[in-house]
Amino acid sequence: MADMEVDHVHGDSAAADAEMTDAGSIVAGGIIPRVGFTVHSSDDDAPPQTTDRAVPSVPPPTTEIPEHSAVFEGGNEAKPQCAFLRDHFFREGRLREADALAIIREATALLRAEPTLLTLDSPVTICGDVHGQYYDLMKLFEVGGDPASTQYLFLGDYVDRGYFSIECLLYLYALKVRHPHSLFMLRGNHECRHLTDYFTFKLECIHKYSEQVYEAAAESFCALPLGAV
């Protein structure tokens, strides 16, 4: 009886091997085509074109570096032109380094003048982590309203992880300079040298601008308030 059970098990194993062999022969015979994961083609098997954009409806990043007069309004106390910056960053544009530094330093001066613990009146729109997601930030303002007429409190973590950390920071700092009494920013755990060096923000700053821009941003983090009631 025991021998019969063993033979039965062996028979099942042989049948499974036969099925695997048959499946392999089916693939090899062309009934089930093999997938070449290193070969790229479109749905109609046309070879890829490297001179055209894969999705023509998505515009390419701009290469324009705007003049100072486009970034700041004139006068002795020039303010960032937030509408221009919003659209320019939406097109993945960059600024002249001097203008990026000017925005960071002016925002830093305003943040240093604020108390460590903010006291805010309601209503206030509270926003969580941004983490370099510029297009999500745009949607947030689209839903939440214009910072000129809506009070915002950002809880920190503006940078790291996402690909547009410096754009998020520059735009929020520009809004802070423009609307110092309606837009407030707290310091998150990612607003420090240790995490921005470990994650992506430092490398992003150096790649898009320079280490000087990163140092100015890191210095500004020390000026951010720590809490709000």
Could you list the beta-strand ranges (E) of 144-205.
152-154, 183-185
Q: Residue type at 224?
A: L
Q: 161-164, long-range: CB within 8 Å, 24+ apart, which pairs?
A: 161/131, 161/132, 161/199, 161/200, 162/130, 162/131, 162/132, 162/133, 162/134, 162/200, 163/132, 163/200, 163/204, 164/89, 164/92, 164/132, 164/133, 164/134, 164/135
Q: How far apart are CA 52 and CA 36, in angstroms?
A: 24
User: How many CA atoms lie within 13 Å of 82's alpha carbon, on the beta-carbon side?
Assistant: 17
Q: Residue type at 85?
A: L
What's the token pair of residue 160?
Answer: 């790291």
Exposed, middle or buried: residue 57 (CB in 10 Å: 0-12, 13-18, 19+)?
exposed
* Catalytic option among 88, 131, 179, 190: 190
CB atoms closer than 10 angstroms to residue 51: 4
Q: In the β-sheet with 183-185, what is the strand arrangement from edge to edge? A: 125-127, 152-154, 183-185
Q: Residue type at 3?
A: D
Q: Is 131 a catalytic residue?
A: no
Q: Which residues are catalytic?
A: 190
